Amino acid sequence: MPVDPKTDHKNGMYSGEGEVPYYRPIGQEIEIFEHAYKNKLPILLKGPTGCGKTRFVEFMASKLSLPMTSVSCHEETSAVDLLGRFLIQGSETVWQDGPLTRSVRSGGILYIDEIAEARPDTIVSIHPLTDHRREIYIDRKNENLKAPDSFVLVASYNPGYQRGWKELKPSTRQRFISIQFDYPDKETEIEILSKETGVSSSISSKLVKLAEKIRNLTELGLLESCSTRLLVDAAKLISTGLPSRLSCEVAIVQPLSDDPDTIRSLKDLVSLMI
């Protein structure tokens, strides 16, 4: 059983011991999630890559003492991948539940990461779970499976990713309540880096200032900007003794681009600020 998190109501801060992951809320997302869970409403987390959506779901799973099943979608993700399939084992044909079916049977949180990446027919297959029915139909078994009260569907996606190429249809978006995520403000992001990695507030401050500069450099044409996740990776490398500039290069600069000119510009910025 996960340990109940310690709560600091004054600062809106939740942390814990044991199995409870560190999470620093930036709004009312915890309260919204709890009310959605009580009302059996599916939740859509919207926000850029690396801003804390997955960590938030992990934290809520621990806080509510719920098992969590995570599925990362891609363009080849099919309904069969989620629901299950028949497999040949020796001389028998055996049904194997997919992650969605297993989660519906057992209850808990089903987290579908980057749902917009999945094929349209795959997304449609989960629609019955997002309304009053809260059920799925497994046609290969002719089985209608109803979700228990402890089940909650959570999905995430990045609006505007690749200039609108991957967007959710309104018919899908309107089946969820939505929580908007973004990168934290400066003070909060500094606090997250220090708590998450143990680096000094001075180093955290420099990394956050670097991120702010990169996020404002729209002329570089980056598909994704510098996320909190990249800053955490850089801080972890620094905390174990890797030189600061090298840590920033491998954890921030190189992951952001493959273009030589862009990389050169980002490395110059790192040299200037770190």
What CATH number is attached to the domain comprising 49?
Answer: 3.40.50.300
Is 249 inside any structural domain? yes
pLDDT per residue of the chain (274 residues) written in tens, 0 to 9: 333 334 443 333 333 344 678 899 989 999 999 999 999 999 999 998 899 999 999 999 999 999 999 998 888 888 888 888 888 888 888 888 889 999 999 999 999 998 988 888 888 888 999 999 999 988 888 888 999 999 999 999 888 654 445 678 888 899 999 999 999 999 999 999 999 999 999 999 999 999 999 999 888 878 788 999 999 999 999 999 999 999 999 999 999 999 999 999 999 999 999 8
Same domain, 84 and 192: no
Same domain, 170 and 67: yes
Same domain, 94 and 223: no
Eight-state DSSP code of residue 156: E
Same domain, 257 and 220: yes
Alpha helices in 126-227 (DSSP H): 170-173, 186-197, 201-216
Same domain, 222 and 269: yes
Kindly report the pTM of this predicted structure.
0.84
Is 1 inside any structural domain? no
* Closest C-alpha to 162, from 222, 230, 220, 75: 222
Residue at a domain's end among 180, 204, 229: 180
Q: Give the pLDDT score at 8.
A: 40
Q: Give the pLDDT score at 169.
A: 83
Can you state the angle between helices 53-63 and 29-38, rounded to 10 degrees?
A: 60
Q: Could you tell me which residues are beta bridge partners of residue 95?
A: 86
- Domain span holding position 202: 186-273
Q: Give the pLDDT score at 38.
A: 96
Is 268 inside any structural domain? yes
Largest distance between two CA atoms of the chain? 66
Q: Give the pLDDT score at 168.
A: 81
Same domain, 60 and 159: yes
Same domain, 91 and 143: yes
Same domain, 121 and 175: yes
Residue with tokens 């570089």: 220
Domain count, the chain: 2
The CA distance from 59 to 44, in Å, is 16
For residue 245, with 0-12 CB atoms within 10 Å meaning exposed, 13-18 middle and 19 or more buried, which class applies? middle
Is 242 inside any structural domain? yes
Same domain, 73 and 156: yes
For residue 61, with 0-12 CB atoms within 10 Å meaning exposed, 13-18 middle and 19 or more buried, which class applies? buried
The CA distance from 104 to 153, in Å, is 9
Is 100 inside any structural domain? yes
What single letter denotes the amino acid at residue 243?
Answer: P
Is 244 inside any structural domain? yes
Residue at a domain's end among 180, 208, 233: 180
Angle at 18 between CA 14 and CA 22, to 5 degrees: 30
Same domain, 93 and 40: yes
The CA distance from 204 to 128, in Å, is 45
Same domain, 28 and 160: yes
Q: Give the pLDDT score at 101.
A: 92
Same domain, 161 and 255: no
Q: Give the pLDDT score at 89.
A: 84
Is 35 inside any structural domain? yes
Residue at a domain's end among 180, 207, 239: 180
- Phi/psi region, residue 232 (left: phi>0; alpha: psi -120 to 50; beta: rest), is alpha
